[in-house]
Amino acid sequence: MTTAPILEIRNLTQHFGGLTAISDFNIKLKNNQMAGLIGPNGAGKTTIFNLVSGFYQPSQGEIFINGKPTAGLKPHKVTALGVARTFQNIRLWNQMTVLDNIKVAQHGKLGYGFFDALMRTKVYRETEDRINHEAYELLKVFELDKFADDFPTNLPYGLQRKLEIVRALSEKPSLLLLDEPAAGLNTVDMHELIRLIRWIHDSFDVTIWIIEHHMDVMMELCDELKVIDFGHTIAEGPALEVQKNPAVITAYLGDENI
């Protein structure tokens, strides 16, 4: 029996008015793979993540998560299929404590409703105890527990990035999408982040797909790379080969972010 790929994208095309942001994009990600997506600014990388997480509905093409099509699903339903993500610009809930940021992300599997919340029924109390405990334990694993009652904005920038990744992981996804996780980090934090992502990959049963500008981060982390430019796939394959590909060098030429 063959198991379905964690993520499969077939002939994905996305138009915004007259602009074709993505054209005919294809990918298959296996269980526990770590893949990368690179390309110059405005190439369409974030758009692909927005399509996968259900934030946009594709103009053409199909997306399957664990073999299930995502067409027509609202983002929270796509999340329920096993996708979680971070954002290029950090999108934590800043007027909520660090612990609550994790707890609210458990909404999809709360298992109690409005009247339970008012009546504080048994299922309410059990669920709240459980997610409180789990959220705290998860923060502990990532050494963020001492900030549990702080607001995210009080954390150093690097830790905010980390918290956003932890919040995504708390969804227990089978596919984790990281959109430029190293953006805005200094070199020390960047190495810390590379270690963190590798550690997550080794310890959790999760496929990771990363968008990143920093070539060195990608070379260290990913086994497979895909390069897009103006929505077209211009190269793909093992990281070392892709780096030497003339088309990639041209696309990046003059881009100081390499």
Partner 1 sequence: MKSLLQRYSVQLILITLGGLITYLAYEEAIGLYTLSVLMFMGVNIILSTSLNLVNGNMGEFSCGHAGFMCVGAYVSSILGVLLFAKDKVFGAPLINPDLALYFFPLIILTGGAAAAITGLLVALPSYKTRGDYLAIITIAANYIIISLIENLGVIGGSRGFMGMKTVVNTMNDTFDLPWMVIWVFIFTVGCVWALRRYNSSTFGKGVSAICQDEVAAEIMSVNTNKIKTITFMLSSGLAGIAGGLFAYIIGYVNPGSFNILKSTEVLVMVYLGGMASLSGAVLSAILFTILLELLRPLQIIKWVVIPLLLIILMQFRPEGIMGNRELSDLFPKLKRFYRFK
Ligand X SMILES: Nc1ncnc2c1ncn2[C@@H]1O[C@H](COP(=O)(O)OP(=O)(O)O)[C@@H](O)[C@H]1O
Interaction site with Mg ion (CB under 5 A): 46, 88
Query: If binding is defined by CB under 8 A, does position 6 make contact with partner 1?
Result: no
Residue written as token pair 């029996």: 1
E-strand stretches of the chain: 7-16, 19-29, 34-38, 60-65, 68-69, 83-85, 175-179, 207-211, 224-229, 232-238
Question: Shortest Cβ distance from residue 221 to partner 1 (Å)?
Answer: 23
Neighbours of 181 (CB within 10 A): 26
Query: If binding is defined by CB under 8 A, does position 174 make contact with partner 1?
Result: no
Stretch that binds ligand X, among 34-42, 120-128, 143-151, 248-256 (CB under 6 A): 34-42
d(CA 88, CA 91): 8
Question: Shortest Cβ distance from residue 1 to Mg ion (Å)?
Answer: 37
Residue 239 binding result from Mg ion, partner 1, ligand X, none, given CB thresholds of 5 to 8 Å by partner type: none
> What does the CA dihedral 30, 35, 41, 46 come to, rounded to 10 degrees?
40
Site string for partner 1, 151-170 (x = CB under 8 A): ----------------xx--
Residue 248 binding result from Mg ion, ligand X, partner 1, none, given CB thresholds of 5 to 8 Å by partner type: none
Residue 92 binding result from partner 1, Mg ion, ligand X, none, given CB thresholds of 5 to 8 Å by partner type: partner 1
Residue 41 binding result from Mg ion, partner 1, ligand X, none, given CB thresholds of 5 to 8 Å by partner type: ligand X
Query: If binding is defined by CB under 6 A, does position 41 make contact with ligand X?
Result: yes
d(CA 146, CA 139): 8
Rounded to 5 degrees, φ, ψ at 4 are -65, 150
